[in-house]
Each structure stands twice: as structure tokens, then as C-alpha cells.
Amino acid sequence: MKTYIVGNWKMNLTVGESSIYLQKLLKRIRPAKGIEVAVSPSLIAIQPLRMQLDKNNSKVKLVAQNFYHRDYGAFTGEVSVSQLRGLVNYAIVGHSERRYVFGETNKDLKQKVAAAIRNGITPILCIGETENEKNFGETADVLRDQLLGGLSEIDAEDVKKVVIAYEPVWAISSNKGARLAAPDEIAESIKLIRNELKETYGKETADETPVLYGGSVNPNNAGAYLTIPGVNGLLIGGSSLVSDHFIDIIELAKRLRA
């Protein structure tokens, strides 16, 4: 299975800054077997970056941070996943900021997952518990509800086309009071996710579904996270905004696969 290194730039970097960053990335990284490098810029930067990548025989994939689940219609201000076809390879669904800042529910997110699959774009379904949920021992229930809720509108065969990202809300650096997740804490949650996939969709699907980790990932802890059993890559927030840090993590992932 591939190792995925995905940078989520969130609402940062102008179009020009995004282009400069990408050019630096293209100059400094070399393709490596089994490593999938992807970045998720702001929506307005996707098309110019796509053109930039097309000219450079792309070593980097593009990821949409968000989209609307309907393919077309009178939805002012929205962008559908069908409009992103040919521009992005992946699309993030259910990031904690979409859940807790913008109020997206499992009902919204299952429609987004289905829309992405329908349009040939790989959804990266983010799941994770809050600090209160963890403290009250609700992690397993939350992960089950978010995982199965997000996958409930696609069939078992299509589940293999989804990437799962475990991002505990309490460990995301943009949250006040965030703390680093210990590898054993992550390993326990990854095991819960894979067991749920196995019980619901079968062992083959559980084994073939990539599961990433995200939450305050940086060059100092990325190695420890990448060696956790069942972790197939990283979804990186703040550190992905610093090209040197992001490249360091990519090179680390290459060394671990060598």
C-alpha cells in the first residue's frame, strides 16, 4: 500500500504564494515508489496549480478542501465535486473544522463521500473525537458513528476507494490547548477503525483501505507516527505551510519505505 503525505493548507497562502511553494516542491522532491505526495490549496488556487502541474509532469497530486454534494444547481457560492473533476485527485470530507465550525453532520458528509466516488475523485474522510468525548470514554462510539455514517451511502466495493484520516480534535494544533497524541493512543484508535471496517465490510476491505493520521504532525514526530501499525500516511496541517518542513517529512517517509 502507498504511503500518503498530504498537506492541508487550509485558508492560507495567496494564489501567488501557492504557486511559489509548489514550484519549490517540484524542484526539491524526486518521485519515489510507493509515496503519494499531495497538497490541498485554497479553492481559488486549484486551477492555476493544476496548470502548473500539467506542465511539470506532476509528482504532486491536488486535493480539494471542500465541495458541495450536488453536481449542479442553484446553490450560490458553492462548488460541486463535478466541477473539480480533472483538477483534483482527492477531496477532504469531514475535517473537524467542517464538522465543528461549519456544523456539517454525518448526513451531509455521507452525501459528499458518495458524490466524490460518483465523480471519480478519492474522498479523504476525516474522523476523530473531541477532548470531552475522549475523557468520557466515548472514542470508540464516536469513531464508529463518524466512520460508518460517512460511508453509509456507498457500497462495500466503493469503500476501498476511500482514504480514512484519523484526526483527534484534541491533537490538532489550531485548537486551543491541543496536545500531541502519543503513538499508543493513535495505535488504539487505528485498531478500532480497522476492526470496524473488518466487521462491517470484511477483512479484504479493512486491509486495503488506507488510514492516515493527522494532528500536530511535524518533522520531529512524523517518523514515530508513520511507524504505528496500520498507519498508511499523514494528513499535515501547520507544518505543510513550511515547505522545508513538508519536504523533510516526505524524505523521512521515503527513508522508512526504503
Residues annotated as catalytic (active site), given as ranges: 95, 167
Q: Facing residues of 31 across strands?
A: none
- 117 grid coordinates: 466516488
- Residue whose C-alpha is closest to residue 36's, from 10, 66, 9, 62: 62
Residue 180: CB partners within 8 Å, gap ≥ 6?
171, 215, 216, 221
Q: In one letter, which amino acid is 183?
A: P
Pairwise CA distance, residues 187 & 227, whole Å = 10
Pairwise CA distance, residues 96 & 124, whole Å = 12
- Residue whose C-alpha is closest to residue 158's, from 208, 198, 194: 208
Position of cell 517518523?
Answer: 223
Termini Cα distance of the chain:
14
Three-state secondary structure call for residue 38: strand
CB atoms within 10 A of CB 248: 16
